A and B are shown apart, each in its own frame.
Chain A
Amino acid sequence: MICSSLRSAFLLNLIIAASLSTAFTGTAHGADYAIVGGTVHTQTNDQPLQQAVILVSDGRISAVGADLAVPAGYEIVAAAGKVVTPGLIDSYSQLTISEIGGEASTVDSQVVAYASGPAFDVRYALNPEATALAVNRRDGVTRAVVAPRPGNDPLAGWGVTIRLSDVEPLVSTDVALFGALGANAAMFTGGSRSALIQRLRRGLQQARGYSTNRYQPGPGDYSHQDLAALQRFLKADVPLVLEAHRAVEIREAVKLAEDFDLQLVVLGGTEAWKESAQLAAAGVPVVVNVLANLPTSFERLGARLDNAALLHEAGVQVLFTGGETQNVRWLRQAAGNAVAYGMPWSAALRAATASPGSVWSFPEGTGTLAKGAPADLVIWNGDPLELSNWPERLMIDGEWQSLESRQTRLFERYQDLSDDNLYYQ
């Protein structure tokens, strides 16, 4: 029964998905819902609403408040004693472009030779059936940034945003150009960090006045297609995301962004706390992997667990990542630890909801439960940052999502080893 209805829902969704263009537009939704009685963190202010009502209509939040009447025709979802938050958003992953890191044939996030560089775009290889979508959705993640990884150029290419839905995960293309500073990326430019910065500056300079006829690439110059991509980036209103860890490199990234009038996002930012005043002044958000508190390289000697707290305190917009594609769900552990080391709770939740919702290309209001926002929400059995709690229900764009995954199927299969039906489930 359940199976067949799920299957028909799936087919219906396929039909809906087929009718859409590349990006999911957030239409074609079923029922209207009233989620009643929960403690609601709208992310539009720091204090939660108690025993509040959230109305969901046509895939969006249509109203939120403590004393709302439930209109006729709304399906009531009891949430008394529960905590309701926007769905969690991971700000750096390879979801849908990297299935099993150790198996090259399942990885499309990186090119090591041909087509590496600013012209590379991950958009054509997104696998909506990636196993990790359901696994991480089960732990409250509803959306993510999907980024290429540097292959043999400091600039890795273009990323996309997705929703963790089994149907049509793609939300937007051309969401940012990704790249990296630091020793690893400097290997692509002869081994010097300085040469790397020079390459980026030269490339951006050439891209400004690029035209197909006049450009004659010399040795070490970007190709025609790369320069065209860089020019497209300069004209687009999207961020340049540069991985940078050492304080001086973060400073160089900020300068580069100023000189070329770019919107910068620092990825990693191990020593960003040292540059927090400059980052705040320049309005540069930082994607922090809270748990990465080790001095694992000579550019990360200033690693510390309170990086996120210090950045927040200085007025820098903080975004979180769980740090690993298979486990972007760790972002709530990251947020919890940020709180343990001094970040206010509401700010930590914001770094995994409203902040990424506004920095990256998502529909207006994503990451909040404000009126008009996409209805991405999670009903938790308690504080969502506590690892002992879990999502009980989860909605993306107004549709309840399955919280089953391949892992829960394995659990069900093996929970009773004496079962004669072990191999037939």
Chain B
Amino acid sequence: MLWKLFPLIVSALAAVAGDVHARTPYESTYSPRHSEDVLLRGATVLTGTGERLESADVRLAVGRIAEVGVSLADNGARVVDASGLWLTPGIIDVHSHLGAYPSPSVPSTSDGNEMTSPNSARVWVEHSVWPQDPQFPLALAGGVTTLQILPGSANLFGGRGVTLKNVPSRTVQGMKFPGAKPSLKMACGENPKRVYGAKNQTPATRMGNIAGFREAWGKARHALDERTQAAQTPPEDDKPKKAPAPDLGLDTLIGVLEGEILIHNHCYRADEMAWMIDVGKEYGFQISAFHHAVESYKIADLLAEEGICSAMWADWWGFKLESFDGISENVALVDKAGACAIVHSDSAMGIQRLNQEAAKAMAAAQRQGLSFDEAHAITWITLNAAKALGLDKRIGSIEVGKAADVVLWNGNPFSVYSRVEQVYIDGYRYFDLNDPGRRPVTDFELRQTVNGGGQ
């Protein structure tokens, strides 16, 4: 009970003690639904590991991928004839604002940007997410099984992001991906300097951006050193140890420095990404992924060397100056350099069709003579995305032992004409094109919208 009442103190103490779990209050209450075992028989399988299996069988049992092969025995599983269909891992979007910027988009639902301070590391976007956002089931109908919700990019430090399972739930806790690390959203470039410059506050320039980052990280590093030092000092007999003063923002930054929170950094321009890499080195943190990284292709070698993923649009460009050099070959060039390439949406429309976004990125590469096929391109929206979320041991590919998050398509998912037939999360069939009873409907939609938005 105490941790519920005093999460800050407990989490601060936990930092000293190095207890990972106590640092993350508001734990997930998700548990997989009871599901029958299923044998998906005869599909063309894109495994998410770069392989394509023809007429393969995949057996899902107790929420996991139990077997992948040919002519598998059903072992009591319900058999689904998937011949002529395609099977992929569940689609993962590393950049979404669903629930925080829901539909309908009106002032009272606009909860994605705490634009009151350039450092709002203290906020957690999960506290903004509206689980009844009708955009969740639309994304599900597009095959999205896992998504990271991030705060907006008005601030240098936007706050914590959260990884959700795309399951219908009355609470956000019921969607939180158990054991997924939280993230910290940072933003370079035009947005923070525009928002605060317009208020005659810092940052008003790109140098102001970097100074804002360095000051905050310097304080976090200093506080962590103090805490570590205090933990190492033996207690005096008559005085109990004093916990550090509660500071939500600092907790998040310290969580990053201790490797418990992953950095997801909105950063368009190559030169700014290079600066952020250096800021990370100065204060001792690793960036998981640059998001909206439209210029990653200019420093793909550096990103490969540093082990940083790039989360990219297939073809967005030119809507603001820092996106002016966006090119359709970006994803392919990053991948070709050996860096981790991800196609993300940042859009409630795009998230429904990440397969088509990947198809565009693949076609742009082929058009330039670079050879990328479907088996490889699917990794941009599955396994590579899982890597950036620190979940690649659990989801992102069709491999024995991984969670049974899979999507059955009625054709090649890289075809514009193909549609999702079935979506399984932890083995449970959450969506079925041919079964209206298996299409979640949010409260908001009742008697208001066309169920499923026509999906």
Contacts and interface: CB of A to CB of B under 8 A. Distances in A.
Interface of A: 99-103, 131-132, 135, 291-298, 300-307, 324, 326-327, 329, 333, 336-337, 339-341, 385-390, 407-408, 410-411, 414-415, 417-418
B448 A301 contact: yes
A322 to B, nearest CB: 11
In the complex, which of the residues B329, B348, B368 has the most CB atoms of chain A within 10 Å of its own CB atom?
Answer: B329
Contact of A307 (B315, B414, B454, B455): B454
Given A302-B450, A417-B337, 16 more contacts: A102-B320, A132-B318, A293-B453, A301-B448, A305-B453, A326-B319, A333-B360, A336-B416, A336-B417, A339-B417, A386-B415, A411-B333, A411-B368, A415-B329, A415-B368, A417-B300
A189 to B, nearest CB: 19
B316 interface: yes
Interface residues of B, number: 53
Given A103-B321, A305-B454, A417 B416 contact: no
Nearest to A411: B329
Contacts of B138: 293-294
Nearest to A300: B104
In the complex, which of the residues A100, A307, A339 has the most CB atoms of chain B within 10 Å of its own CB atom?
Answer: A100
Contacts of B448: 295, 301
Contact of B363 (A99, A292, A387): A387
18 contacts: A99-B318, A100-B318, A101-B318, A101-B320, A293-B454, A294-B453, A296-B105, A297-B105, A304-B454, A305-B455, A326-B316, A337-B356, A337-B416, A339-B416, A388-B415, A407-B328, A411-B297, A411-B333
Contacts of B445: 295
A300 B454 CA distance: 13
Interface string B300-344: 110000000000000111111100111111000100010000000
Contacts of B321: 100, 102-103
Contacts of A132: 318
Nearest to B419: A340
Contact of B414 (A99, A295, A341, A388): A388
B359 A387 contact: yes
Nearest to A130: B318
Given A303-B450, A390-B363, A326 B318 contact: yes
Contact of A102 (B135, B190, B298, B360): B190
A340 B328 contact: no
Nearest to B330: A411
A307 B454 CA distance: 8
A385 B416 contact: yes
A103 B320 contact: yes
Enumerate the 6 nearest inter-chain pairs by beta-carbon distance, A residue then B residue, closest first: A304-B454, A102-B320, A336-B416, A305-B454, A326-B318, A407-B327
Contacts of A131: 318, 324
B348 A388 contact: no
Contacts of A103: 320-321
Contact of B449 (A303, A339, A418): A303
A327 B417 contact: no
Contacts of A294: 103, 134-135, 138, 348-349, 453
In the complex, which of the residues A305, A333, A411, A418 has the most CB atoms of chain B within 10 Å of its own CB atom?
Answer: A411
Interface in B285-301: 297-301
B367 interface: yes
Contacts of B337: 417
A268 to B, nearest CB: 14
A389 B363 contact: yes
Contacts of A411: 297, 327, 329, 333, 368
Contacts of A337: 353, 356, 416
B257 interface: no
A333 B333 contact: no
Nearest to A385: B416
B83 interface: no
A417 B301 contact: yes
A336 B363 CA distance: 15
Main SS at interface, chain A: loop
A303 B337 CA distance: 41
Nearest to A337: B416
A303 B416 contact: no
Contacts of B404: none
B261 to A, nearest CB: 30
Given A294-B138, A386-B416, A414-B333, A407 B317 contact: yes
Interface of B: 103-106, 134-135, 138, 190, 297-301, 315-321, 324-329, 333, 337, 348-349, 352-353, 356, 359-360, 362-363, 366-368, 414-419, 445, 448-450, 453-455
A167 B429 CA distance: 55
B274 to A, nearest CB: 13
A274 B320 CA distance: 36
A387 B104 contact: no
A307 B318 CA distance: 29
B418 A340 contact: yes
A387 B454 contact: no
A291 B453 contact: no
Contacts of B415: 386, 388
Contact of A291 (B318, B319, B349): B349
Nearest to A338: B416
A339 B453 CA distance: 16
Contacts of A341: 454
A102 B353 contact: no
B103 A388 contact: no
Nearest to A132: B318
A324 B316 CA distance: 10
A415 B449 CA distance: 47
Given A296-B105, A417-B300, A388 B454 contact: no
A135 B364 CA distance: 12
A390 B368 CA distance: 11
Contacts of B362: 388
Contacts of B106: 297-298
A8 B119 CA distance: 55
B306 to A, nearest CB: 14
A162 B293 CA distance: 32
A97 B35 CA distance: 55
Contacts of B328: 407
Contacts of B414: 387-388
Contacts of A386: 415-417
A417 B297 CA distance: 9
Nearest to A339: B417
A326 B316 CA distance: 8
Contacts of B319: 100-102, 324, 326
A418 to B, nearest CB: 8
Given A294-B135, A387-B363, A414 B453 contact: no
Contact of A388 (B104, B105, B366): B366
Given A103-B321, A327-B315, A387 B333 contact: no
B305 to A, nearest CB: 11
Given A387-B359, A411-B368, A303 B315 contact: no
A291 B315 CA distance: 15
Contacts of A407: 317, 326-329
B417 A295 contact: no
A410 B325 contact: yes
Contact of B454 (A99, A306, A389): A306
A108 to B, nearest CB: 15
A387 to B, nearest CB: 4
A333 B455 CA distance: 16
A307 B448 CA distance: 16
A252 B426 CA distance: 49
A307 B362 CA distance: 29
B416 A415 contact: no
